[in-house]
Amino acid sequence: MRPWKVNVYHASPGSGVHVRYTNSIGTGNCTAQPSLSTAKKAYNYRRVSYMSCRRCKKRDPAPGQSRCETCQDIERRYQQRLRRQCVEAYGGGCECCGTKKLAFLTIDHINERGAAHRKEVGGSGRNFYNWLKRNKFPPGFRVLCFNCNFATFWYESCPCKKGGAEWS
């Protein structure tokens, strides 16, 4: 086990190395310092990790991206498949108007505590869909199209149903 924890604040070959060394006990800065090669290794690790794909570590991502195009496509297909599974588990179409187009469908919290639940789960989208799948699609949710979901939130009833809110 190495007794040193190296925090590299700025390291580049030839321009000086600014490094903070602490020991494993956590007593603060140590007086003895490891060799410069330790700092160079840390610099090379950081440089490689920023230049390679975060997921596969093989290909270079596009500028401003953390993953390569291949890994982005894999992730996109996974998210679409996960969303489709969740929508199909709750009926596959809007409960109100019957729309089956996946692009328009959302999952609605029946008991109207969606904001509190998203905070517990850690967000919406992928985190929410993963939570639904992990918990074996619990009751208390339904599928609505975005229009019906919005109307039930603002008007407490959907215009699709008889006696629902009137649009003027």
Q: Which of 57, 157, 10 is closest to 165 using CA atoms?
A: 157
Q: Is residue 138 part of a domain?
A: yes
The percent of residues above 70 in pLDDT, for the chain, comes to: 66
Residue 40 and residue 77 in one domain:
no
Structure tokens at 52: 């390679």
What is the chain's mean pLDDT, rounded? 76
Q: Is residue 22 part of a domain?
A: yes
pLDDT recorded at residue 14: 52
Q: Is residue 57 part of a domain?
A: no
Q: 58-109: per-residue pLDDT in tens?
A: 888 888 888 889 999 999 999 999 999 999 999 999 998 889 999 999 998 8
Sole residue written with tokens 């008007």:
155
pLDDT recorded at residue 114: 79
pLDDT recorded at residue 80: 93
Higher pLDDT, 137 or 65: 137
Contacts 24+ apart (CB under 8 A), 65-73: none
Residue 92 and residue 31 in one domain:
no
Q: Is residue 109 part of a domain?
A: yes
Q: How far apart are CA 51 and CA 111, in angstroms?
A: 46
Q: What average pLDDT score do residues 50-56 get?
A: 78
Q: Is pLDDT at 13 greater than 60 in this prediction?
A: no
* Three-state SS at 142: strand
Residue 90 and residue 132 in one domain:
yes
C-beta separation of 8 from 50 below 8 A: no
Q: Is residue 168 part of a domain?
A: no
pLDDT recorded at residue 44: 53
The domain of 148 spans 73-155
Residue 44 and residue 78 in one domain:
no
Domain count, the chain: 2
Q: Is residue 98 part of a domain?
A: yes
Q: Is residue 132 part of a domain?
A: yes
User: How far does CA 32 lie from the centroid of its chain?
Assistant: 41
Q: Length of the chain in residues, anyone? A: 168
Q: How far apart are CA 42 and CA 70, in angstroms?
A: 28
CA-to-CA separations, 26 to 5, 22, 30, 95, in angstroms, rounded: 9, 7, 10, 58
Residue 116 one-letter amino acid: A
Q: Is residue 115 part of a domain?
A: yes
- Cβ of 33: how many Cβ atoms within 10 Å? 14
Q: What is the largest CA-CA distance in the chain?
A: 79
- Alpha-helical (H) ranges within 13-161 are 36-51, 69-89, 114-121, 126-134, 146-155
